[in-house]
Chain A
Amino acid sequence: MQQYLNTLFVTLEGAWLRKQGEAVEVRVEGDTRLRVPLHNLDGIVCLGWDIGASAQLMAACAEGGITLSFCTPHGHFLAAATGFAQGNVLLRREQYRRADREAASLAIAGNCVAAKIANARTSLQRARRDRPEAAGDAPLADAVEQLGNALRGVTRARDADTLRGEEGNAAHQYFSVFNHLLSGGDPEITFSGRNRRPPLDPVNALLSFLYALLGHDCRSALEAAGLDAAVGFFHRDRPGRPSLALDLMEEFRPVLADRLALSLINRKQVTSADFEKRENGAVLLREESRKKILVAWQERKKEELTHPFLGEKMTYGLLPHIQARLLARHLRGDLDAYPAFLWR
């Protein structure tokens, strides 16, 4: 299996990135702080307002299929440097045609949503198996049951609204018992439902940050596979919304982001001291804490699994790339359906 390539995260305000030979060089006030060979990277993500890159580096990234993105310190996407559109215009035209056809869209969207619910359910099941005190937890058992029903509903859905209804219902059930998965962490960290824009508690702040990182990976994986990240099959197109990246993220949320959030809290790697509260009630990760989480995210992506459909060993970090390519193969007619990632 191909080697897993790293993402270079740059969080230092005032940093200037440039190409030196076959490497990217990070300079601050004229001093070189870091050099990384370009062929070891699949992405460069700058988190800060005052970070820049040379035109020569942008060109080299575009040429070599390395995503170069600029985000706020909290990981929200601002801009990316791209060259001539990657991939094949024929594939993108096919993507648009399918997105315009309800039945074809529903087939892809249904598998994305089914995989999301199945993976969320598997996550809850694992918690019940792994923790003796969770075995007799009635609400947890009930949520597993409800998610199973939602999953059956999704496989029977005949239109997009039914699909959206089942997805919303399943998400509500899942997050209603999410705090049952918190144990052994900082007692001040509690969770009472998903909220965002702004996140109002530490768990939501952590989830939002991890989802931003996952979204970046999904968007760049889709672009690398030659697809248009803005035209989705489940999420409706809206200007500025990376709908297909949001579609692709669904199956990974419970597996890549939610589980990492839980293990960071339960192992006390993240405590209430890592967050600050703003005047408007928003809870945000502190700057130093964000770096710690970036490292944990990278470590998580190096862990290995066997891909359920391909049967090959690979790292979690490769999953978005592999799934994006499987989706492209479905659109090109090589595969009769999109084999969304089902976590075992």
Chain B
Amino acid sequence: MEEDIRYAPLSALQHLVYCERQCALIHLERVWLDNRLTAEGNVLHEKTHQEGVESRPGIGIARGLQVVSQTCRLMGQCDVVEFHGRRGRGGGAPRWESVQPVEYKRGRPKSHEADRVQLCAQALCLEEMLAMPVTAGALFYGEPRRRTPVAFTPELRATTLAAVDRLHRLLDGEITPPAVYRAALCRGCSLLDVCLPRRRETPGRVSIWFGETLQHLLEEG
């Protein structure tokens, strides 16, 4: 029998911080809608997820690296992990002075925490796998094409661990939370048409609507 420990995907963490309902629709109800934004994101990722390692003197770059954390029950892929300051081989594997996850994102730097939390979760995975501290990473936004450094401060780590906890509770509970309309977030969401956040249904509303509409059609002629 297959072991029954459920790992959550790293990407789900980003969805959760953006919106719990979006996270539930994608990961519990498995709704998937490609919109222009995610399609562009996929092309951007396509470039970075060609697996492999390239080395320049003193720096290693791994693309599409699979990472996992047993303690957080998280798994996923890093776009890019940079290894700096090689220190020879201790016990076969190379040792590095510092390791940095770099995540590629479409568009502009966001005001919400989702991207930073996802990056911090990658750092938690890397720390566990490599048994070394990971203190900083970077987000690379498509416009303007530049790197935004991210320090994994105690505050960001606490936010991330709290989000991991909420994520597991949501996935274990298997209940999709009701919609709350927040214009700034909902407008940029690819699941707007599935979620329909502006429609708060009152009990019995559909039956009443259907009956009244039929009656109206019959009376018209």
Contacts A125-B220, A342-B213 given: A335-B206 contact, CB under 8 Å? yes
Give the residues in chain A near B209, CB-CB below 8 Å: 309, 339
Q: What's the least CB distance linking A2 to chain B, in Å?
A: 5
In Å, the complex CA distance between A332 and B195 comes to 13
**Using a CB-CB cutoff of 8 Å, which residues 202-221 of chain B contact chain A?**
203-207, 209-211, 213-214, 217-218, 220-221
Whether B213 lies near A122 (C-beta < 8 A) is no
User: Is A198 among interface residues, defined by CB-CB distance under 8 A?
Assistant: no
User: Is A22 among interface residues, defined by CB-CB distance under 8 A?
Assistant: yes
User: Is B39 among interface residues, defined by CB-CB distance under 8 A?
Assistant: yes
Contacts A64-B34, A310-B199 given: A114-B214 contact, CB under 8 Å? yes
Q: Which of A334, A342, A344 contacts B201 (CB 8 A)?
A: A334
Q: Which of A2, A21, A334 contacts B192 (CB 8 A)?
A: A2
In Å, the complex CA distance between A125 and B220 comes to 10
**Using a CB-CB cutoff of 8 Å, which residues 114-161 of chain A contact chain B?**
114, 118, 121-122, 125, 144, 148, 151-152, 155
Q: Which of B28, B29, B30, B218 contacts A151 (CB 8 A)?
A: B218
Give the residues in chain B near A155, CB-CB below 8 Å: 211, 214
Give the residues in chain A near B153, CB-CB below 8 Å: none
User: Is B32 among interface residues, defined by CB-CB distance under 8 A?
Assistant: yes
Whether B30 lies near A338 (C-beta < 8 A) is no
In Å, the complex CA distance between A90 and B25 comes to 13
In Å, the complex CA distance between A155 and B32 comes to 35
Whether A338 lies near B29 (C-beta < 8 A) is no
User: Is A280 among interface residues, defined by CB-CB distance under 8 A?
Assistant: no
* Nearest-CB residue, chain A, relative to B201: A335
Give the residues in chain B near A322, CB-CB below 8 Å: 193
In Å, the complex CA distance between A22 and B201 comes to 39
* Nearest-CB residue, chain B, relative to A107: B207
User: Is B36 among interface residues, defined by CB-CB distance under 8 A?
Assistant: yes
Contacts A22-B39, A111-B210, A335-B206 given: A88-B199 contact, CB under 8 Å? no
In Å, the complex CA distance between A1 and B194 comes to 11
Give the residues in chain B near A37, CB-CB below 8 Å: 39
User: Is B196 among interface residues, defined by CB-CB distance under 8 A?
Assistant: yes
User: Is B77 among interface residues, defined by CB-CB distance under 8 A?
Assistant: no
Whether A339 lies near B206 (C-beta < 8 A) is yes
User: Is B43 among interface residues, defined by CB-CB distance under 8 A?
Assistant: yes
In Å, the complex CA distance between A151 and B30 comes to 37
Q: Which of B28, B34, B176, B210 contacts A337 (CB 8 A)?
A: B210
User: Is A226 among interface residues, defined by CB-CB distance under 8 A?
Assistant: yes
Query: Number of A interface residues, CB 8 Å?
Result: 43
In Å, the complex CA distance between A335 and B89 comes to 61
* Nearest-CB residue, chain A, relative to B40: A39
User: Is A300 among interface residues, defined by CB-CB distance under 8 A?
Assistant: no
User: Is B35 among interface residues, defined by CB-CB distance under 8 A?
Assistant: yes
User: Is A317 among interface residues, defined by CB-CB distance under 8 A?
Assistant: no
Q: Which of A2, A118, A121, A308 contacts B35 (CB 8 A)?
A: A2
In Å, the complex CA distance between A121 and B32 comes to 36
Give the residues in chain A near B36, CB-CB below 8 Å: 3, 39
* Nearest-CB residue, chain A, relative to B203: A336
User: Is B135 among interface residues, defined by CB-CB distance under 8 A?
Assistant: no
User: Is B46 among interface residues, defined by CB-CB distance under 8 A?
Assistant: yes
User: Is A212 among interface residues, defined by CB-CB distance under 8 A?
Assistant: no
User: Is B42 among interface residues, defined by CB-CB distance under 8 A?
Assistant: yes
User: Is A86 among interface residues, defined by CB-CB distance under 8 A?
Assistant: yes
Give the residues in chain B near A88, CB-CB below 8 Å: 28-30
Whether A226 lies near B31 (C-beta < 8 A) is yes
User: Is A65 among interface residues, defined by CB-CB distance under 8 A?
Assistant: yes
In Å, the complex CA distance between A148 and B219 comes to 10
User: Is A168 among interface residues, defined by CB-CB distance under 8 A?
Assistant: no
User: Is A340 among interface residues, defined by CB-CB distance under 8 A?
Assistant: yes
User: Is A87 among interface residues, defined by CB-CB distance under 8 A?
Assistant: yes
Q: What's the least CB distance linking A336 to chain B, in Å?
A: 5
- 26 A-B pairs whose Cβ atoms sit less than 8 Å apart in the complex: A2-B33, A3-B35, A21-B46, A22-B39, A22-B42, A22-B46, A37-B39, A39-B39, A64-B32, A65-B33, A86-B30, A87-B30, A88-B28, A90-B174, A114-B214, A118-B214, A121-B217, A122-B217, A125-B220, A144-B221, A148-B218, A310-B199, A322-B193, A335-B206, A336-B204, A339-B206
Closest 8 CB pairs of A and B: A39-B39, A337-B206, A337-B207, A2-B193, A88-B29, A335-B206, A339-B206, A65-B32
Chain B residues with CB under 8 Å of chain A are 28-36, 39, 42-43, 46, 174, 176, 192-194, 196, 199, 201, 203-207, 209-211, 213-214, 217-218, 220-221
